[in-house]
Amino acid sequence: MTKAIFLIQTEDKKGLLASVVDFFYSKSFNILHCQQHTDSYEKRFFMRIELDASDMSMTRKELYDSFNDLATELGLEWSLHWTDYKMRVAILVSKTSHCLYDLISRQLEGELDCEIPLIISNHPDMEKVANQFRIPYYYFPVGDDKKAQEGKIRELLKRFDIDLVVLARYMQILSSEFTEEWKGKIINIHHAFLPAFQGANPYMRAYTRGVKMIGATAHYASEDLDQGPIIEQDVVRVNHELTPNGLKEVGKDCEKRVLASAVKAHLEHRIIIYRNRTIVFAVER
Amino acid sequence: MTKAIFLIQTEDKKGLLASVVDFFYSKSFNILHCQQHTDSYEKRFFMRIELDASDMSMTRKELYDSFNDLATELGLEWSLHWTDYKMRVAILVSKTSHCLYDLISRQLEGELDCEIPLIISNHPDMEKVANQFRIPYYYFPVGDDKKAQEGKIRELLKRFDIDLVVLARYMQILSSEFTEEWKGKIINIHHAFLPAFQGANPYMRAYTRGVKMIGATAHYASEDLDQGPIIEQDVVRVNHELTPNGLKEVGKDCEKRVLASAVKAHLEHRIIIYRNRTIVFAVER
Amino acid sequence: MTKAIFLIQTEDKKGLLASVVDFFYSKSFNILHCQQHTDSYEKRFFMRIELDASDMSMTRKELYDSFNDLATELGLEWSLHWTDYKMRVAILVSKTSHCLYDLISRQLEGELDCEIPLIISNHPDMEKVANQFRIPYYYFPVGDDKKAQEGKIRELLKRFDIDLVVLARYMQILSSEFTEEWKGKIINIHHAFLPAFQGANPYMRAYTRGVKMIGATAHYASEDLDQGPIIEQDVVRVNHELTPNGLKEVGKDCEKRVLASAVKAHLEHRIIIYRNRTIVFAVER
Amino acid sequence: MTKAIFLIQTEDKKGLLASVVDFFYSKSFNILHCQQHTDSYEKRFFMRIELDASDMSMTRKELYDSFNDLATELGLEWSLHWTDYKMRVAILVSKTSHCLYDLISRQLEGELDCEIPLIISNHPDMEKVANQFRIPYYYFPVGDDKKAQEGKIRELLKRFDIDLVVLARYMQILSSEFTEEWKGKIINIHHAFLPAFQGANPYMRAYTRGVKMIGATAHYASEDLDQGPIIEQDVVRVNHELTPNGLKEVGKDCEKRVLASAVKAHLEHRIIIYRNRTIVFAVER
């Protein structure tokens, strides 16, 4: 069944829920799922609505336009998504394969409902993985001119009509031009429980600090490294038995799980960003 | 702020959400929080609505009656709760103190918003705890006439206008008359991850089976022991280092946490029972 | 560095630790890691010792023989393993790919230190996965003669010098001849938190029972289905939002993680079986 | 059964385990439990040994002295503890009761094997809790002379022969003289997952940063606030539904559990401190 999904946010005020629900009801839509959250601290209204779009009495453009009128009147920030469109995801990697294997196999199993038309890397190592799954692999080494290398990537993302960029342990800082252009469309996995251990070598630092749990954080990329809105986090318990390398190995599982979960939430249009925070709606499956 | 909370369920059909939301909107209520869930497998509609009731333009009875008209028309099962009423909770215990201490201290800290007018037991041991907190303690030993002992308890529950009975490690099976009369109003804590290890001595059996996690389950009491609707569960990781007694000790924390969480959900009117399952709505705090 | 690993168990008695430690000390071995556990409930002594074997003053056979003398004297059950031998693992699957992808990718990343010389199935579906990784795939449909089909599998396991069989969602019951012959050498993943939901369709039954967590259990296969010694378990929190299919999807992650962790413990010689329980030693990494 | 517990650490070298084990064997001690860990990254040897001391052929002083000779020879740092001595614990609190109730009730249930001869506070609020349990309560307000207030506390700790100080949400920074004098004998609970959100108001900052899990950390107090060796940590999953106050409430459970677990490990002589890290041995129960 094709669905239309609306993501809505605005300043909280009386009657918002009724107005939105009424709009769809008056157009004879069947609301499959409606989730609403008011942040009482920020006085902010958030909503996700799933409509049955399989048998519409109007065109998609008509729905868009008529909702736009309501949104203007109520001052809503909103977006509309159709589940019969498969998002196109570019995966960026460096030298490690665990997140890459994980994302591809989840996509093949249907858990991640998207297309993966290309893999991009600053190293040649992962080409063999790409070949196993017959996904085109682009290798752009970072030489003296980092700007130029990034330019090639950005050009490729456009040429391939990419909707979402996943940094699956891509160990390069992106320029602010890149993160600005792709705001809310680049998901990064950081191998620590942010905001602990921002920056490089988190497992070494976790060892030195003697923490009893290590974690991973998936977040939208922002200009300041590791400062963007967090989508998902998880941790695993560790103890004194683990060396820095042991922590790293144990952490891999956490990284895979957290990254996949964040990508899935994005693909299913369950995330709204407000300031530096995310509202991640659960979804019935 | 006083709130009115509606819990609603019915067979799923088109327009339910809009009808209910419209009702409150037309009466000028401010909807603070609206949660709706459709179980697509059971084709069942569930809803929890929180209204601002601090400045109502009608009496509580008028609200009840007018919603009743709508509910009859739409075929809703529903209940209405007011947050300015403090529920009255009776705690039943046997010989162990950990859940009892935990519930009382959470109530004193304001985490459990209720009154605890009495503690009932089939053993004298916990009277000292009751005295520390100046809560009346009733000791009814189970002698030859179990029915009579239960009769005394049930009589007391009525006399004290009890709304909820919490079995905080009360090691007696209740008669079906009791569980039937108090259906959906008795919460029990079982010291295992149900449906594993139903019945007696779960920690011993967990040891023998060599499980790697032990758990606890809070559920509404039903005629068949440990078969009622589950409200909350949790587990802790264990290993071969633990003897049956060690498992028991480690499990206590889990029992406390799970029982308190279930009682809290009940007190906050976040639970709907359907068949042998519960819908437990999260609540903004 | 090549290591020799001893796994030892016996009835507990005074001086066992000193006797064993002294033996290695007197032969000038460097003990890298020594883990000892006494089950005070069962009065049973368990031990795992890792020796530096990179520069031995005796042959492997001499070490084996001289330790055998001590073991006979002390009444030890024991085994000796060398880390420069890569165990050979056969993966058996039916129609689902998630555990298969997971095991293969972990092996490729070096997390599972073994060889995977073949994949066997009762269905043709997974051949495409096997081909991606160039692993020989054997398809033996279960026809009228189940015994014959199993015979072919067992014959193949011998021909390929297999050390460990992993049932990665292989949906067939094995005969008692098979499980007896391969006792302690077949690891199965059950898609539930055993002993809850033994047998078929655990996710459907978890839904009906309304549990708030679902889990997975990796265990050695035994004659009685799902009754063998448990190696590893884990759970994930679920709620009313999940249909039986949703539970299934969410459970996949848990299955992968639990199965991989159990296989890893086996490959690293960290498991001792006693009765129907396992001692799983943690290992420094 | 009375036990003698040795905690030992030193630079790693060949034969340490055998030397120590032999020592006890030659003195006819029964080793109940022996745990040894070598940190291969730091090249450091750690050990915990539990002896049956119920029927000793020498005095405690003789055991101490003869082991001291061995320790000098081998260059061991070590300590010896007897399980028939109940450690004396002072609890310091400010205004919140949840950790206080939790520690006291665990002590009453026998989970924390210690005496709690007094409670000290910089506020009068918790006196009512102290009275419920008939524990002497000392109220020292922090006025202009912070040094003097701390002096009174330190004097009291000596007068009461205190072995361990537990800061159960005591919201004052201690002077370096205090933490130096009581090094390794003050346990603090920090209401965040360190090193994230060091310092004040961690729940508010967790909200602003939009984290998806919040945690708690128990650590030995050191001169630099929240920088001491971590003993135990745990986290709970949170989501956008929680306001800063909601996070605080949810975090309480985590704080209680983590603090109690750390105190228990200390009371059971399971912790060795090395640099800024702890080795926390698991113990059979």
Q: Do B213 and C196 touch (CB under 8 A)?
A: no
Report the relative pairing of strands A87-93 and A114-121 from DSSP bridges: parallel
Question: Between chain B and chain C, how many beta carbons pairs sit less than 8 Å apart?
Answer: 95
How much is the pLDDT for A284?
66
Pick from C98, C109, C243: CB nearest A285: C243
Mutate to test the interface with D, among C8, C36, C285 (most CBs of D within 10 A): C36
pLDDT at D283 over 80: no
Q: Which two tokens stand for residue D148?
A: 């003097």
Please identify which of the residues B125, B144, B226, B253 carries the catalytic annotation.
B226
Q: Do C35 and D35 touch (CB under 8 A)?
A: yes
pLDDT at B193 over 90: no
Instruction: Name the residue among B146, B84, B152 with its Cα closest to residue B118.
Output: B152
C100-134 pLDDT, tens per residue? 999 999 999 899 999 999 999 999 999 999 999 99
Q: Do C38 and D33 touch (CB under 8 A)?
A: yes
Length of chain C: 285
Pick from A108, A245, A249: CB nearest C111: A249
Scanning every residue of chain C, which has its alpha carbon at the shortest distance from the alpha carbon of D283?
C37
Contacts of C193 in chain B (CB under 8 A): 193, 196, 213, 235
How much is the pLDDT for A144?
87
Question: Between chain A and chain B, how many beta carbons pairs sit less than 8 Å apart?
Answer: 43
Mean pLDDT over the full length of chain D: 94
Residue B196 · residue C205 · CB < 8 Å: no
How much is the pLDDT for A51?
94
pLDDT at B285 over 70: no
Contacts of D244 in chain A (CB under 8 A): 41
Q: Taken in order D111, D116, D121, D127, is the CA torsion positive or negative?
A: positive
Quick count: other Cβ atoms within 10 Å of Cβ A34? 24
Residue B279 · residue C240 · CB < 8 Å: yes
Residue A103 · residue A259 · CB < 8 Å: yes
Question: Chains with 3 or more CB pairs closer than 8 angstroms to D?
Answer: A, B, C
How much is the pLDDT for D285?
66
Q: Do D194 and A211 touch (CB under 8 A)?
A: yes
Which parts of B74-195 are beta strand (E)? Answer: 77-82, 87-93, 114-121, 137-139, 164-167, 186-190
pTM for this entry: 0.93
How much is the pLDDT for D284?
66
Mutate to test the interface with B, among D238, D253, D263 (most CBs of B within 10 A): D253
Pick from B195, B234, B241: CB nearest C209: B195
Write the DSSP assignment of A1-47 as a string of letters: --EEEEEEEEE--TTHHHHHHHHHHHTT--EEEEEEEEETTTTEEEE
Scanning every residue of chain A, which has its alpha carbon at the shortest distance from the alpha carbon of C249?
A111
| Percent with pLDDT over 90 in chain B | 79
How much is the pLDDT for D14?
87
Residue C264 · residue C116 · CB < 8 Å: no
pLDDT at A215 over 70: yes
Contacts of A22 in chain B (CB under 8 A): 18, 21-22
Question: Chains with 3 or more CB pairs closer than 8 angstroms to B?
Answer: A, C, D
Position A217 confidence tier, pLDDT thresholds 50, 70, 90: very high
Can you say whether residue A134 is alpha, beta or left, with left for phi > 0 and alpha for psi between -120 and 50 degrees?
left
CA distance B154 to B175: 11
A31-57 pLDDT, tens per residue? 888 999 989 899 999 999 999 998 888
Contacts of A41 in chain D (CB under 8 A): 207, 243-244
Q: Please, what is the end-to-end C-alpha distance for chain C in angstroms?
A: 13
Contacts of B215 in chain C (CB under 8 A): 213, 235
Report the relative pairing of strands B271-274 and B277-280 from DSSP bridges: antiparallel
Q: Which residues of C are catalytic?
A: 226
Question: Which stretches in chain C have pLDDT values below 50?
Answer: none
Q: Taken in order A9, A10, A12, A14, is the CA torsion positive or negative?
A: negative
Mutate to test the interface with A, among C95, C97, C101 (most CBs of A within 10 A): C101
Looking at D109-145, list the stretches that DSSP marks H as alpha helix, in order from N- to C-terminal side: 127-132
- Long-range contacts formed by A124-133: CB under 8 A, 24+ apart: A125/A94, A125/A95, A126/A93, A126/A94, A126/A95, A126/A97, A126/A100, A129/A97, A129/A100, A129/A101, A129/A104, A132/C132, A132/C133, A133/A104, A133/A108, A133/C132
Q: Do D105 and B109 touch (CB under 8 A)?
A: no
Sheet holding A31-39, edge to edge: A77-82, A3-11, A44-52, A31-39, B31-39, B44-52, B3-11, B77-82
Residue D210 · residue A278 · CB < 8 Å: yes
D83-142 pLDDT, tens per residue? 999 999 999 999 999 999 999 999 998 999 999 999 999 999 999 999 999 999 999 999
Average pLDDT over residues B89-104: 96
B208-253 pLDDT, tens per residue? 999 999 999 999 999 887 889 999 999 999 988 899 999 999 999 9
Q: Do B285 and D246 touch (CB under 8 A)?
A: yes
ipTM of the complex model = 0.90
- Residue C233 to chain B, least CA–CA distance (Å): 6
pLDDT at A81 over 90: yes
Q: Which two tokens stand for residue B274?
A: 């359907």
Position A266 confidence tier, pLDDT thresholds 50, 70, 90: very high
Instruction: Name the residue among A162, A160, A244, A233 with its Cα closest to residue A194.
Output: A233
Pick from C208, C211, C240: CB nearest B280: C240
Scanning every residue of chain C, which has its alpha carbon at the shortest distance from the alpha carbon of A131?
C132
How much is the pLDDT for A285?
65
CA distance C42 to B240: 11
How much is the pLDDT for D72?
98
Q: Do A25 and B32 touch (CB under 8 A)?
A: no
| Percent with pLDDT over 90 in chain D | 79
- Residue B5 to chain D, least CA–CA distance (Å): 18
Q: Taken in order D37, D45, D49, D270, is the CA torsion positive or negative?
A: negative
Pick from B241, B245, B253: CB nearest D282: B241
Mutate to test the interface with A, among D212, D220, D279 (most CBs of A within 10 A): D212
| Percent with pLDDT over 70 in chain B | 99
Length of chain B: 285
How much is the pLDDT for A282?
85
Q: Do D284 and B246 touch (CB under 8 A)?
A: yes
CA distance C28 to C8: 20
Name A242's Cβ contacts closer than 8 Å, sequence gap at least 6: A207, A250, C284, C285
List the single range of A134-138, B33-37, B76-80 with lowest mean pLDDT: B33-37
Give a three-class secondary structure readout of A76-110: CEEEEEECCCCEEEEEEECCCCHHHHHHHHHHHCC
Q: What is the helix, strand, coil percentage profile of chain D, to 5?
A: 35, 30, 35
Q: Do A24 and B36 touch (CB under 8 A)?
A: no
pLDDT at D225 over 80: no
Q: Do A241 and C283 touch (CB under 8 A)?
A: yes
How much is the pLDDT for D219?
97
Chain C residues at the D interface, defined by Cβ less than 8 Å, are 14-15, 17-18, 21-22, 24-25, 30-38, 40, 237, 284
Q: Taken in order B240, B244, B245, B247, is the CA torsion positive or negative?
A: positive
Position A212 confidence tier, pLDDT thresholds 50, 70, 90: very high
Please identify which of the residues D12, D144, D145, D226 carries the catalytic annotation.
D226
Helix (H) or strand (E) holding A234: strand A230-237
Average pLDDT over residues B75-102: 97
Residue B226 a catalytic site member: yes
Q: Which residues pair with B44 in a beta bridge?
A: B11, B39
D145-170 pLDDT, tens per residue? 999 999 999 999 999 999 999 999 99
